[in-house]
Amino acid sequence: MSKLKLIIQREFIAKVRNKSFIMMTFLSPLLLVGMGALVYFLMQKNDEKIKEIVYVDNSAMFSKEDFKDTKSIHYLDYTALGIEATKKKVEEGDYYGALIIPKQDSLELLAQSIEFYSTDSPGISVMNSLENKIEQKIRNEKLNSFGIDLEKIKASKISTDIKMFNFSGEESSKLINGLKIGVGALAGYLLMMFVMIYGTSVMRSVIEEKTSRIIEIIVSSVKPFQLMMGKILGNASAGLLQFFIWGILLFVIVTIASSIFGVDMVEMQSARVPAEQMDAMKQATDGDKGQLIIQEILKLPILKMFVLFIFYFLGGFMLYSSLFAAVGAAVDNETDTQQFMLPIMAPLILGVYVGFATVMNDPHGSIAVLFSHIPFTSPIVMLMRVPFGVSWTELAISMALLLVTFIFMVWLAAKIYRVGILMYGKKPTYKDLYKWLKYKG
């Protein structure tokens, strides 16, 4: 046991003293926040550029009121100039594009004959905006032709707000579901990234010691199983330490940024939101709803989620790291690992896709429950389900299966590890790995 402790300490210290580890530990949160700020800045700069769209309305149906200017799009009426002259002027000038509305005998034909010309491919949002304006105008004209009063239709619109309660009578908020999805998705994605980063780190460490022949000296005084477990636990400890530092730094950075730039960002975002959406947002935050949302956030099982994240992080990491260690012991260089990586990485990637595809829509559905119990996908899928509330019975089954599978996979990986670390000069195959599993002694 003392030898295992020494190996864990050696791997942990070697990892945390590495310059790249120290730099990435403190720079990663800054880079993450910086990238977010850069994306936000670029979005703002992109919106500042005004797109001028000219239109020729030969149908005489549309007016300036139908093409109101927005913050980023200005509309110019070039009907008097004619179609060909307008197209030529747009092609030679700095205009974003030309919208051509021909004269047609029916509204149906008109809707299918409108054209848009531009030098470069127009953005999807611009085209959607134009289509919505035209569809709304043609629809209103068609309703008028049916003798339907548009004012009555507008007056008939009703906004429905379904109240949500649980059976104990407590009111909930629809916005909390979005928060649960975000928290669960972030936890699952972080786990996948940590397993990939630190699992491959274990594999590289084994390959380096094997190619330098240091491994031959080490195994003369320690059992291969202890060496493998020491590497896994040492790297897991370093990973947890880095995760905690990232969490603290991100919390501090976001808190400071919110206090400094919070008001300005809210004002800038408000200026970009349409008036009808702003009214809906105000209604959603009127009265006690803002306080209700805060209460719902506090009702999230934060402590439970934290403890389960640690368990599934360690369980998932150790399960996959044992396989990474076995692969590292079986090969002589990283190039040879490619043939073995896909079977290891596939369940991780599958867990993320299943989580996003099923948990977000139905966190308690049969598929989500099944994959939250399968040990190779449960660390990711179960973490995505936890914010929505999972019974302790389900958690106990999932955790027990993960623990049993981890012990079994470590035992299998150790059988490959003890043979592979002393094998040189041959590129192993799956058949060789099977033979190593059957070796006794």
Could you tell me if 381 and 355 are in contact, meaning their C-beta atoms sit under 8 angstroms apart? Answer: yes
Q: Above 90 in pLDDT, residue 22?
A: no
Q: Above 90 in pLDDT, residue 398?
A: yes
What pLDDT score was predicted for residue 401?
94
Could you tell me if 386 and 190 are in contact, meaning their C-beta atoms sit under 8 angstroms apart? Answer: no
Could you tell me if 387 and 183 are in contact, meaning their C-beta atoms sit under 8 angstroms apart? Answer: yes
Beta strands in 94-246 (DSSP E): 97-101, 115-117, 164-165, 171-172
Q: Above 90 in pLDDT, residue 100?
A: yes
Lowest pLDDT segment from 65-79, 105-119, 235-249: 235-249
Q: Above 50 in pLDDT, residue 181?
A: yes
Distance (Å, whole) CA 64 – CA 343: 61
Sign of CA dihedral 223, 227, 233, 237: positive
> The pTM is what?
0.67
What pLDDT score was predicted for residue 404?
92
Distance (Å, whole) CA 204 – CA 61: 69
Q: CATH classification of 48-147 is 3.40.190.10, yes or no?
A: yes
Q: Within 13 Å, how many C-alpha atoms sit on residue 199's CB side?
A: 25
What average pLDDT does the segment 336-359 reach? Answer: 84
- Average of per-residue pLDDT values in the chain: 80
DSSP letter at 56 equals: E
Distance (Å, whole) CA 56 – CA 87: 10
**Top-ranked range on mean pLDDT: pick from 150-164, 271-285, 287-301:** 150-164
CA dist 306 → 185, 189, 192, 376, 394 (Å):
14, 15, 16, 20, 17
What pLDDT score was predicted for residue 50?
82
What pLDDT score was predicted for residue 114?
92
CA dist 256 → 17, 26, 249, 251, 262 (Å):
29, 16, 11, 9, 9
What average pLDDT does the segment 323-327 reach? Answer: 85
Q: How far apart are the first and last CA of the chain?
A: 21
DSSP annotation string for 225-266 = HHHHHHHHHHHHHHHHHHHHHHHHHHHHHHHHHHHHHHHHHH
Query: 77 has which bridge partners?
Result: 55
Tokens of 92: 């030679």
Crossing angle of helices 175-211 and 338-354, rounded to 10°: 170
Could you tell me if 180 and 369 are in contact, meaning their C-beta atoms sit under 8 angstroms apart? Answer: no
What pLDDT score was predicted for residue 197?
81
User: Chain-centre distance of CA 374, in angstroms?
Assistant: 22
The type of residue at 162 is I
What average pLDDT does the segment 230-255 reach? Answer: 82
Q: Above 80 in pLDDT, residue 10?
A: yes
Could you tell me if 398 and 372 are in contact, meaning their C-beta atoms sit under 8 angstroms apart? Answer: yes
Could you tell me if 290 and 176 are in contact, meaning their C-beta atoms sit under 8 angstroms apart? Answer: no
Give, for 77, the enclosing helix (H) or strand (E): strand 73-77
CA dist 277 → 83, 126, 134, 272 (Å):
36, 19, 21, 10
Distance (Å, whole) CA 387 – CA 76: 51
Could you tell me if 245 and 26 are in contact, meaning their C-beta atoms sit under 8 angstroms apart? Answer: yes
Query: 171 has which bridge partners?
Result: 165
What are the extents of the domains in the chain?
48-147, 171-247+288-438
Tokens of 423: 């094998």
Q: Above 50 in pLDDT, residue 264?
A: no
Model pLDDT for residues 385-394, shown as the tens digit of each residue: 888 888 889 9
Sign of CA dihedral 199, 308, 11, 441: negative
What pLDDT score was predicted for residue 55?
92
Distance (Å, whole) CA 200 – CA 207: 10
**Top-ranked range on mean pLDDT: pick from 17-31, 110-124, 285-299:** 110-124
Residue 229 pLDDT class (50, 70, 90 cuts): confident
